[in-house]
Chain A
Amino acid sequence: MDMLRDTSQDEELAERAIGGDGGAFAALLARHYDRVFGLAYRLTGGRAEAEDLTQDICAALPAKLQRYDARARFTTWLYRVVVNAAHDRRRRGAAHARAAQGWGDWEVARQAADAETAERIDWLTRAMRALPDDLRDTLALVLDDMTHAEAGEVLDISEGTVSWRISQAKKRLRTLKEKEDGA
């Protein structure tokens, strides 16, 4: 994490919030809101989806916070909440797409439409969307200034797995880039 951020207050604020202090809760969420949104954007790859995901998270956070264990870093815990919410959303999307294929002649093959859309967005967002979910999640966290160890904690995987996934993700990005440059 960057040194400028004074994170020592996070856990304290969280404890006060769990104890019912509305001011502490407000301060805690306000100071993390933009990063939650940023991570949501990187995980979903779209602005509207990121706004909806952030709303879901904000709505559920008070209840979820009751299960926060102050021994863990607050940011780690919060990122896990975001990643899990993104997973839930993605799962719903996948169920939707699968069932949608049976809808008849007019119904979408969502992936094909996504591929079409993808041509029009910036290279990196597009490339990240093309990564498998696990690689994308890991990369999103590490690009958000998390160390490999912290990302591992969020995703509940080992630090070695994070490093391996990052190298895989980089390799794939490189391949994509080369393919694009060659085309």
Chain B
Amino acid sequence: MSDDLELEQLKAAISAATPAPDAAQRARNLALAQKNFETLQGSKDAARLSSDAPRRGLFRGVIDMLRTFPAKATLTATTALVAVGLVIYLPELSRLPAPGDLLGAPEEVVVIEVDDAPVATGTASTAAAKMAGERLQTGEAPVATMMAPQAELALDQARPAPAPFVIVAEADTESYPEADPNPLKVTAQEPVSTFSIDVDTASYGVVRSSILNGYLPDPQAVRIEEMINYFPYAYAAPTGGDLPFSTQVTTFGTPWNPGTRIVHIGLQGRMPETAERPPLNLVFLIDTSGSMSQPGKLPLLKQSFALMLGQLRAEDSVAIVTYAGSAGQVLAPTPASERATILAALNALDAGGSTAGQAGLQQAYAVAEAMADEGEVSRVILATDGDFNVGLSDPEALKDYIAGKRDSGTYLSVLGFGRGNLDDATMQALAQNGNGQAAYIDTLNEAQKVLVDQLTGALFPIADDVKIQVEFNPATVAEYRLIGYETRALAREDFNNDRVDAGEIGAGHSVTALYEITPVGSAARLTEPLRYGAATEDAAAAVSGELGYLKLRYKAPGADVSQLIETPIRGEGAASDDMRFAAAIAGFGQLLGDGKYLGDWSWGEAIALANGARGKDAYGYRAEAVRLMRLAESLAAQQ
């Protein structure tokens, strides 16, 4: 055993495991260092640099690096990775404003490396697979050919059980909230269930990006309520009255269990006349740290915001503040009608400028406050791949800061871009405290959905701090469980406490919550009734045949005191397409998790249910979900 761990073998194994630096990022970092170097020398000394001196230096440096690399084997591996980096990142490079950038001539650099690396061809495809998808393939590991022979033994040891063709995610630093699926509750013991609504959609985006990349998502990344609420549902809108949203409760048979029923709670927000909406003041707070340079991050962000600009009106205004990489305000508040100015500022954004921008968040809020006139909505839109180094390093202080600003009228939404460093938990927490949405944007289509189709809902809250409390009737309901909303659980006493923050509903948003209930006397009951518990159940039975009682609290935007809505839950109802689709997605989410309440119900049945409930599907979201479920089924079958 000890022989396997000799240092030489470890060395070979670790150098094989170490990825090559991203070529484009490398060029930018070198340019950044050079710029700071010149700044330090002062303007007089800078004059002595001829424009091509650094470039020659870099050229020589690259040659030196190649010529003097420790061992031929490592050289092969490194150049192969760098060469492939060129192929993958080229489309991005071509979009970057490279001219005028002293060292920013990455094409030249890479060409040299490619020419110098004829040996790379044999292994390039492996490296390409690894870098392109950011995952690594286990099983037959052709990577071993890139290493010194003595490393093969160590690699053999290092490899987990052979599982050919199964793709696993690469090492990353993503973090997700830790929450176990809601357990089954016995009504007689715990009749009351309380939670905050959730209109985030980030989880669905993460699930989709995982599946499309060929692996099943981390179960902790699956939040069923966010998957369900990703889809628009056409629940009946409120008619007349002052209520900002309508509430409907329907009960129907559970698709995966004939002995239980689904209680479907649907909220539909009112859609105000968009023509009458107040002007918007938006501050884009954009992460420009080095890792944002990947194609799915800053470049996608630029395209996404450009799409969104088309939705804004002349009286809206936009400002841009950056943090982490470059500093401060890059676009002063500008009317949305000046599209060219805004687009130019967006396009000039570059990941990894100078590092001064620490006070990004405070600055963004200061700008937002300065922009807001009486009666106007201001919102900071934070876009990041997970670097929350926005100027306040203590998360507790950050949370308080955002909550304080929320109370004074500036809201915060968080958009996640790219994978690998995604801090899903912080994203959610910040958006929740800022009365905003957290959404994950992985494709331009998703940007279209979040920032164009549903822009109004995302930016105009119509009800704040919406909480739901259900009391089940032990005489009719033996057991219940809330599907999803694990991260949104509230204590029973929080329901009436107006100081406890909860989720908000935007204009036109719909929100869905599902309970699976087991009626008294059902054969599907999982717990034995208590021998001495009968008396309680009989007493409650006298009240009514109701299944339970639904209570909702919400605040009008800006109000301090909540309103109460109450309605009994009765056992009737027929499932509409919308409801059956929501149930299918609930099944999808559970299949991605442990699925322990699903019995024999399988992917095939989930797909059939979703497919049969697609309804109008004007934007094609549901058709996409069905395709994802098919893919997930195939992936699950490999495991």
Contacts and interface: CB of A to CB of B under 8 A. Distances in A.
B18 A55 contact: no
A109 to B, nearest CB: 5
Contacts of B428: 106
A103 B171 contact: no
B61 A27 contact: yes
B69 A4 contact: yes
A99 B396 contact: yes
A69 to B, nearest CB: 18
Contacts of B396: 99, 102-103
Contact of B158 (A2, A45, A123): A123
B21 interface: yes
A143 B34 contact: no
Contact of B21 (A4, A37, A121): A37
A104 B429 CA distance: 9
Given A41-B18, A46-B173, A107-B177, A51 B354 contact: no
Contacts of A139: 10
Given A42-B18, A116-B218, A125-B17, A26 B65 contact: no
A59 B355 contact: yes
A116 B136 CA distance: 17
B172 A2 contact: no
Given A26-B103, A27-B58, A120 B168 contact: yes
A72 interface: no
Given A58-B32, A103-B395, A107-B429, A23 B64 contact: no
A156 interface: no
B276 interface: no
Contacts of A29: 30, 33-34, 61
Nearest to A39: B18
Contacts of B426: 100, 108
Interface stretch (B47-55, B445-453, B548-556, B567-575): B47-55
Interface of A is mostly: helix
Interface string A35-56: 0011001101111111110111
A112 B175 CA distance: 9
B434 to A, nearest CB: 14
Interface stretch (B299-307, B386-394, B587-595, B603-611): B386-394
Interface string B11-23: 1011101111110
A33 B21 contact: yes
B484 interface: no
B34 A22 contact: yes
A121 B170 contact: yes
B305 to A, nearest CB: 22
B33 A58 contact: yes
Contacts of A114: 173, 175
Contacts of B347: none
Contact of B1 (A37, A56, A117, A177): A177
A123 B159 contact: yes
A7 to B, nearest CB: 9
Q: Bin the interface of chain B by size.
A: 35 or more
A117 B325 CA distance: 27
A52 B173 CA distance: 12
B378 interface: no
A5 interface: yes
B92 interface: no
Interface in A144-183: 145, 166, 170, 173-174, 177-178
B425 A113 contact: yes
Contacts of B386: 48
Given A52-B291, A96-B393, A34 B30 contact: no
A177 to B, nearest CB: 7
Interface stretch (B35-43, B360-368, B529-537): B35-43
B36 A59 contact: yes
A79 B303 CA distance: 39
B429 A27 contact: no
B57 A26 contact: yes
A67 interface: no
B58 A30 contact: yes
A44 B171 CA distance: 11
B399 A103 contact: yes
B18 A38 contact: yes
Contacts of A33: 21, 26, 29-30, 61, 65
A61 B159 CA distance: 37
B57 A24 contact: yes
Contacts of A31: 61, 64-65, 68
Contacts of B13: 124
Nearest to A128: B14
B160 A51 contact: no
B176 interface: yes
Contacts of A66: 40
Nearest to A63: B40
B65 A34 contact: yes
A60 B60 CA distance: 23
Contacts of A105: 179, 487-489
B172 A174 contact: no
Given A55-B32, A106-B428, A125 B171 contact: yes
B14 A49 contact: no
A58 B35 CA distance: 10
A41 B19 CA distance: 8
User: In this complex, which of B5, B33, B399 has the most chain A Cβ atoms within 10 angstroms of its Cβ?
Assistant: B33
Nearest to A9: B64
A22 B53 contact: yes
A36 to B, nearest CB: 9
Contact of A177 (B5, B32, B170, B393): B5
A174 B9 CA distance: 13
Contact of A2 (B5, B71, B290, B420): B71
Contact of A103 (B168, B179, B429): B429
A61 to B, nearest CB: 5
B37 A22 contact: yes
B443 interface: no
Nearest to A48: B421
B352 to A, nearest CB: 5
Given A20-B45, A48-B172, A113-B178, A2 B70 contact: yes
A142 interface: yes
21 contacts: A5-B70, A23-B54, A24-B57, A25-B37, A26-B61, A27-B57, A30-B57, A30-B60, A34-B20, A42-B18, A51-B21, A55-B32, A60-B36, A63-B36, A99-B394, A103-B395, A103-B429, A108-B176, A108-B425, A124-B13, A125-B17
The 3 closest A-B pairs by CB, nearest first: A30-B61, A106-B487, A26-B57
Interface of A: 2, 4-6, 17, 20, 22-31, 33-34, 37-38, 41-42, 44-52, 54-56, 58-63, 66, 92, 95-96, 99-100, 102-110, 112-114, 116-117, 120-126, 128, 139, 142-143, 145, 166, 170, 173-174, 177-178
Given A106-B429, A116-B176, 9 more contacts: A22-B49, A52-B291, A54-B290, A59-B32, A62-B39, A106-B177, A122-B171, A124-B13, A125-B17
